[in-house]
Amino acid sequence: MNFLPRMALVLFLSTWPFSFAWTQQLDCQPCNDHYGRVQIGTSKQRYIQLKNDGTRSVRIRTVSESGDAFAIGNFSVPVNVAAGSSIKLPIIFAPMVAGKNTGTITVVSNAKDSQLVINVQGVGVAAGKAQLGVTPASLDFGSVTVGSSANLAITLSATGAPVTISSVQSSSTEFSLPGLVLPLTVAVGQNVQVTVQFAPNASGTASGQLTLSSNADNSPNTVSVTGMGVVAGSHSTDLSWDASHDPVIGYNVYRGTQQGGPYGQINPVLDASTSYTDNNVNAGATYYYVVTAVNADDQESGPSNEVKVKIPSP
């Protein structure tokens, strides 16, 4: 009988190193991010750097967030991160409540640690109460000839938070705010001058109120306005004075409604003569006038003696 030789079968098992199976490694920088203090109603965006520390490409499959105050910015998934490369993940903090806000960002990928958890936190700060300041609170335009106009200014300021003025209403068509473009936002610490115009359409006293509506806590704000419309040529005051002993190039004429002032200049340009006619006066009113001299160096002298004039009525 023939016997076949027996063959011994020896199996050699080869085991690959475990490190080869996980050549994708995703890391975060930072893995705990603090946004600091952010005002409620606003937002702040920061970036988390996701880096592939492995030797093969990592595929980020999903990114999700927890915590009402945190959201993922513009970031499309799935996305591949090459070995040794990194990608920026934008996270937005938009607090809705005051105090500490926390959340987590979860990145799911085919890396060794398939879920990468990033802790985020920030502090919500209540916004300051917005206040609109308007100065002065009243304007007196004095006498203005019918058919012409006069301008004065009010100054707007904001405290606590920016203020946006949405509308301005005038109770009288004779008072307006020409050139004002709405909406107008006044930043905190900023002073904005706005022109108010009085254009009387009839003789006599005119008054009204400007109402400014805004998002300020003290809205609406009001400004009282008044003025006197006078008919040109109805009354006038003729003034004359002695020439200055010193060389001068002209004179300025000032008028007030109280003895001793304050006075306001009424001549639009320097008067080279020693006389002036004030046509913008009201019947029955009392005025006080002074004159100053101006030399070639544009230096102005002190005021002359005061002259009182009573306008007839009517």
Task: Using pLDDT thresholds of 50, 70 and 90, give the confidence band for residue 12.
Answer: very low
Question: Where are the strands (E) in 231-304, listed by range?
Answer: 237-240, 250-256, 264-265, 275-278, 286-294
The domain defined by 131-230 folds into: Immunoglobulin-like (2.60.40)
CATH of region 237-310:
2.60.40.10
Q: Which of 20-29, 116-125, 192-201, 299-308 has the lowest mean pLDDT?
A: 20-29
Q: How far apart are CA 158 and CA 291, in angstroms?
A: 40
Q: What is the pLDDT of residues 179-199, one digit of tens each?
A: 899 999 999 889 999 999 999
Q: Residue 18's pLDDT is what? A: 44
Task: Using pLDDT thresholds of 50, 70 and 90, give the confidence band for residue 207.
Answer: very high
pLDDT for 163 beyond 80: yes
Q: What is the pLDDT of residues 100-109, one digit of tens each?
A: 999 999 999 9
pLDDT for 233 beyond 70: no
User: Which part of the chain has CATH 2.60.40.10?
Assistant: 22-125, 131-230, 237-310
> What CATH superfamily is the domain 22-125?
Immunoglobulins (2.60.40.10)
Q: Residue 14's pLDDT is what? A: 43
Q: How far apart are CA 260 and CA 129, in angstroms?
A: 43
CB proximity list for 72: less than 8 A, separation 6 or greater: 63, 64, 65, 89, 90, 91, 92, 105
Higher pLDDT, 239 or 283: 239
Tokens matching residue 19 = 């490190």
Q: What is the pLDDT of residues 18-28, one digit of tens each?
A: 444 457 889 99
pLDDT for 96 beyond 50: yes
Asked if 283 and 312 count as a contact pair (C-beta separation under 8 A), the reply is: yes
Q: Residue 279's pLDDT is what? A: 86
Tokens matching residue 171 = 């109770």
Stretch 242-250: mean pLDDT:
92
pLDDT for 295 beyond 50: yes
Q: Residue 7's pLDDT is what? A: 47
Stretch 29-47: mean pLDDT:
90
Across the chain, what does the average pLDDT equal? 88
Task: Using pLDDT thresholds of 50, 70 and 90, give the confidence band for residue 76.
Answer: very high
Stretch 12-22: mean pLDDT:
46
Higher pLDDT, 96 or 314: 96
